[in-house]
Chain A
Amino acid sequence: MESRFKREKISENIYFTGIKDEKFKSNRISVNLIVPLQVDTVTEYALLPMLLSKGSRNMADFTELNRRLAGMYGATLSTGTSKLGPYQILTLSISVMDDRFTMAKEQNTSDGARLLCELLLQPKIEDTKFDGELVKLERQALIEEIQAQMNDKRAYTIRRCEELLYQGQSRGLPQYGYKDKAQQITAQSAAAAYERLLSGCKIEIMFLGCGDIDEVCVTFRNEFASVLTSGFSLNEFEAPVQNREVLHGEEKLDVSQSKLAIGFQTPVSGSDKDASATRLAVALFGGTPFSRLFTHVREKQSLCYYCAAKYDRLNGTMMVDCGIEAEKKQQAYEEILKQFEIVKNGEFTAEELDNTRLSLLNSLNAVKDSLSSQETWYLAQIISGTLYSPSEEAKRITEVAAQDVQAAFDKMRLTADFFLTSKQ
């Protein structure tokens, strides 16, 4: 089956990246607006995708938009705010069934591309103000989203640990911003934020699927012809500050199971080879059901229900997190650090390393079978300033040796921990 990769500059600071693969039954198109994370803008920018997703100035309301999406064979519109490294990414994306399955030869894919452009470039702004009622509703929805961050206790504990890891740095900003800043947003300030965003961001348009990649590219080239954005340099992001002492945090809530998160820092700069070695090292330590953490902390010593480690290259961190009984905290902590030293000293077997490698290769090779996985992969690549395919990364993983794994852990520093536990 045909597969094709295309990356093209639409205009200054606006790029189109497309992957065509005939095996899929749908197409996924996204527009990603990338800006540096800043305390003054993070909240107002987080509101914008929510406003844009409720319809363009040509639509009466969001019901009209939703009925249009339903008529496009259930096209799914999703919008969101995320963080990658020191950047905030505002995304509008649409997933559409491919044209070849339509009942009346409809041009579902290009309709989807045009709709996305309409929502982004023709917002409900009149007289330098967003629709007031719309802003009122979505502002409240944003506040609820900010408050809801504490609902998922596992993710909440990790975020609290990250706040300690990135103390004072923009990377530590919450992805949806702050409640008090959200409360101050008006219809006018939101419109001003929209103009500021569009004129100062980098735009990455992505298309993945089986449809006509060239036609979609032309659509975006035409629709974005009048968009002028100054952008900024993606490759010169601030390196995270290396903390000198370990910071501790704790909070008590009415929870049944306690959570512990332990954050390590590792250099962000360094070669791709170093990054691949770190990826493999972290997986060996805590990224599989046969990792050091799972086997020793959970299975052999029954110290926790789950215990895993995750690597974030763009932020230069490894985060370990576990669900435990409160009285086992100290034991679990000590065992996690003991396992860390074991990996750092190279006291793992060749079989462990090879098996971990197999697991990573399996994951990397499966990326091309999923539209969303490919989108996530390539967006992260673009932010990093690289454009490696999963198979190129797989090749680097096969070349990582035991001493590379040791070296990767040797560069890591325990930096912060956070413990969420019960009030009783």
Chain B
Amino acid sequence: MIIENKIINQSLEIVRHPSGLTIQLMPMVGYGSTYVIFGTKYGSVDRSFKLGGEEEYLAVPDGVAHFLEHKLFENEKEDAFERYARTGASANAYTSFEKTCYLFSCTDKLKESLEILLDFVTSPYFTEETVKKEQGIIGQEIKMYQDHADWRVFFGMLSSLYHDHPVRLDIAGTVESISKIDADMLYRCYRTFYSLSNMVLCIAGKFDREEVLSVCDRILKKGEDKVIHRAPEPEPPEIVKGESVIKLPIAMPIFNIGYKEKPFSTQRMAKGEILSEILLEMLAGPCSLLYKKLYQAGLINQSFGTEALVGKDFRVHIFGGESKDPRAVLALVKEEIALRKKYGLDPTLFEEIRKMIYGKYIKLFGSTEAVASAMSGTYFKGYTVFEPINLTTHITFDEVTEHFLSDFREDRVTLSVVEPI
């Protein structure tokens, strides 16, 4: 299936491979590089699951998805980085809340690098010895992130909003939780989530269509169809607590204000994300009155920003940055939201922000990395990479207002702070 976007003159081809894998291809004329992402819909929140036909859900320790990401690079004979060394590709991987992605970029030997990627991700090899060694390495990674104030303030906010949903947990787990991981568990998780029907391959930039598809034909084998049941994570709408504070050796306080929101349905996901993005810019972006008030009071600096964190069954509006007085920032944010709910949003500002968001999504298509990342991200959320551009041109002020009025409840907000020691 080919989807064309006439605005940016790009086409997206979606191929349903016989193996069950979905392949998304976006040729970018004139580019000399290729960016490839092979992703699975499996992340840190998937801590309890079963396959169709099984009776009981299996609960696994925190951090398994991330652990698996590390381990897949290893093989009995040669690890993936040693193989990539012979092609010159620049490779990496990451695990987030709902997905794990293996990627590389290259300007030459695409066929060889693609073979390596598809092969090592579909060829797991775990032993108790290699698992033990990785526990040491990941243990150090966890310690490294313990020193990152941005990371700590973010999870401080999430754990103050969510009672039990696993989004509150560090993606890598803890030193204690990963000590419980063994090879059998890794194989079980792998066989559940790394079935090709649960995955996507995204290629953006310079490539030969027939060549990449023939590599897929050669390496990818059709497995049994699997139906994955992820255990529901019931979560009350109320938050846990209104404030959390920890101390680290930093120069000035860092904060995250988080509003806990009702999750979007799958059908509403694409539009909902754009509505949130526009709304946050209108409320607290650099064009807003709130931003001006906070900046001129010396309460924020250039580190201030907003984000809409959106998952299948969690959603948070976030305001964050450095501040000498985070509680004062929270008070002003609450005050502004109350005022806007009473007197309404600014329709002129809406048009400016809409143009801004439209421009942002057009510019995205100038980078192979941005395109491939957007392709995989939107696929797992159930829409295509062109949706944001299409939606932005049609979204209305009334839709943004309606979205605003149903969100940002004052009893659903928390403040997370990391203070200097």
**Chain B residue at minimum C-beta to C-beta distance from A152:** B148
Chain A residues with CB under 8 Å of B105's CB are 362, 366
Are the CB atoms of B81 and A290 closer together than 8 Å? yes
Chain A residues with CB under 8 Å of B367's CB are 369-370
Is B177 engaged at the interface, CB distance under 8 Å to the other chain?
A: no
Are the CB atoms of B292 and A61 closer together than 8 Å? yes
- What is the bound-complex CA distance between A149 and B302, given in angstroms? 14
CB 8 Å contact bits of B290-328 with A (1 = contact, 0 = none): 011001101001110000000000000000001000000
Chain A residues with CB under 8 Å of B421's CB are 254
Are the CB atoms of A358 and B86 closer together than 8 Å? yes
Are the CB atoms of B359 and A97 closer together than 8 Å? yes
Q: A147-B251, A151-B250, A257-B143 are in contact. Are A23 and B28 (CB under 8 A)?
A: yes
Chain A residues with CB under 8 Å of B286's CB are 62-63, 66
Is B146 engaged at the interface, CB distance under 8 Å to the other chain?
A: yes
Are the CB atoms of B30 and A366 closer together than 8 Å? no
- What is the bound-complex CA distance between A103 and B362, given in angstroms? 12
Q: A67-B287, A147-B252 are in contact. Are A305 and B144 (CB under 8 A)?
A: yes
How many residues does chain B have at the interface if contact means C-beta atoms less than 8 Å apart? 68
- What is the bound-complex CA distance between A75 and B362, given in angstroms? 12
Chain A residues with CB under 8 Å of B365's CB are 25
Contact of B90 among A75, A145, A362 (CB under 8 A): A362
- What is the bound-complex CA distance between A371 and B149, given in angstroms? 31
Determine, out of B182-190, B258-266, B267-275, B349-357, the stretch whose residues face the partner at the interface.
Answer: B349-357
Is B29 engaged at the interface, CB distance under 8 Å to the other chain?
A: yes
Chain A residues with CB under 8 Å of B33's CB are 365-366, 369
- What is the bound-complex CA distance between A366 and B28, given in angstroms? 14
Are the CB atoms of B137 and A305 closer together than 8 Å? yes
**Chain B residue at minimum C-beta to C-beta distance from A291:** B85
Is B91 engaged at the interface, CB distance under 8 Å to the other chain?
A: yes
Are the CB atoms of A369 and B137 closer together than 8 Å? no
Q: A21-B30, A365-B108 are in contact. Are A359 and B88 (CB under 8 A)?
A: yes
Are the CB atoms of A23 and B107 closer together than 8 Å? no
**Chain A residue at minimum C-beta to C-beta distance from B139:** A305
Is A121 engaged at the interface, CB distance under 8 Å to the other chain?
A: no
Nearest Cβ in chain A — how far from B209, in angstroms? 19
Determine, out of A136-144, A233-241, A332-340, the stretch whose residues face the partner at the interface.
Answer: A136-144
- Which of A289, A304, A359 has the largest count of B CB atoms less than 10 A from its CB? A289
**Chain B residue at minimum C-beta to C-beta distance from A53:** B302
Chain A residues with CB under 8 Å of B95's CB are none
Is A70 engaged at the interface, CB distance under 8 Å to the other chain?
A: yes
Are the CB atoms of B147 and A97 closer together than 8 Å? no
Are the CB atoms of B90 and A359 closer together than 8 Å? yes
Are the CB atoms of B147 and A62 closer together than 8 Å? no
CB 8 Å contact bits of B327-368 with A (1 = contact, 0 = none): 000000000000000000000010011011111101101111
Chain A residues with CB under 8 Å of B205's CB are 369
- What is the bound-complex CA distance between A51 and B252, given in angstroms? 22
- What is the bound-complex CA distance between A72 and B322, given in angstroms? 28
Docked complex: A93-138 residues within 8 A CB-CB of B: 95, 97, 101, 103, 133, 137
Are the CB atoms of A137 and B287 closer together than 8 Å? no
Is B18 engaged at the interface, CB distance under 8 Å to the other chain?
A: no
Contact of B298 among A21, A61, A137, A298 (CB under 8 A): A137
Docked complex: A58-101 residues within 8 A CB-CB of B: 61-63, 66-67, 69-75, 95, 97, 101
Q: A101-B8, A290-B85 are in contact. Are A74 and B248 (CB under 8 A)?
A: no
Are the CB atoms of B88 and A256 closer together than 8 Å? no
Are the CB atoms of B143 and A74 closer together than 8 Å? no
Are the CB atoms of B149 and A74 closer together than 8 Å? no
Q: A97-B362, A254-B249, A325-B140 are in contact. Are A369 and B31 (CB under 8 A)?
A: yes
**Chain A residue at minimum C-beta to C-beta distance from B349:** A67
Are the CB atoms of A23 and B29 closer together than 8 Å? yes
Are the CB atoms of B249 and A253 closer together than 8 Å? yes
Are the CB atoms of A140 and B363 closer together than 8 Å? no
Nearest Cβ in chain B — how far from A127, in angstroms? 22
- What is the bound-complex CA distance between A360 and B231, given in angstroms? 45
- What is the bound-complex CA distance between A256 and B82, given in angstroms? 31
Docked complex: B192-215 residues within 8 A CB-CB of A: 205
CB 8 Å contact bits of A146-158 with B (1 = contact, 0 = none): 0111110100000
Are the CB atoms of A25 and B352 closer together than 8 Å? no
Is A39 engaged at the interface, CB distance under 8 Å to the other chain?
A: no
- What is the bound-complex CA distance between A146 and B90, given in angstroms? 34
Chain A residues with CB under 8 Å of B295's CB are 62, 137
**Chain B residue at minimum C-beta to C-beta distance from A357:** B88
Is A183 engaged at the interface, CB distance under 8 Å to the other chain?
A: no
Nearest Cβ in chain A — how far from B302, in angstroms? 7
Is A288 engaged at the interface, CB distance under 8 Å to the other chain?
A: yes
**Chain B residue at minimum C-beta to C-beta distance from A96:** B359
Q: A74-B357, A151-B149, A359-B88 are in contact. Are A365 and B107 (CB under 8 A)?
A: yes
**Chain B residue at minimum C-beta to C-beta distance from A360:** B88
Chain B residues with CB under 8 Å of A72's CB are 359
Is A22 engaged at the interface, CB distance under 8 Å to the other chain?
A: yes
Nearest Cβ in chain B — how far from A389, in angstroms? 13
Contact of A74 among B108, B291, B360 (CB under 8 A): B360
**Chain A residue at minimum C-beta to C-beta distance from B249:** A253
Is A175 engaged at the interface, CB distance under 8 Å to the other chain?
A: no
Nearest Cβ in chain B — how far from A24, in angstroms? 5
Are the CB atoms of A363 and B90 closer together than 8 Å? yes
Is B400 engaged at the interface, CB distance under 8 Å to the other chain?
A: no
Are the CB atoms of B106 and A70 closer together than 8 Å? no
Are the CB atoms of B143 and A140 closer together than 8 Å? no
Is A225 engaged at the interface, CB distance under 8 Å to the other chain?
A: no
Are the CB atoms of A257 and B144 closer together than 8 Å? yes
Q: A62-B292, A256-B144 are in contact. Are A150 and B363 (CB under 8 A)?
A: no
Are the CB atoms of A70 and B90 closer together than 8 Å? no
Docked complex: A280-296 residues within 8 A CB-CB of B: 288-290
- What is the bound-complex CA distance between A61 and B140, given in angstroms? 47
Chain A to chain B contacts (Cβ below 8 Å), 15 pairs: A25-B366, A63-B292, A67-B352, A73-B359, A101-B7, A137-B295, A141-B302, A147-B252, A257-B143, A355-B88, A361-B107, A362-B88, A362-B106, A366-B107, A369-B205
Q: A289-B81, A302-B136, A358-B88 are in contact. List 12 more A-B contacts (CB 8 A).
A: A1-B30, A26-B362, A63-B291, A70-B356, A71-B356, A73-B355, A74-B356, A101-B362, A150-B251, A290-B85, A302-B137, A361-B108
**Shortest 3 CB-CB contacts between residues of A and residues of B:** A73-B359, A23-B30, A358-B88
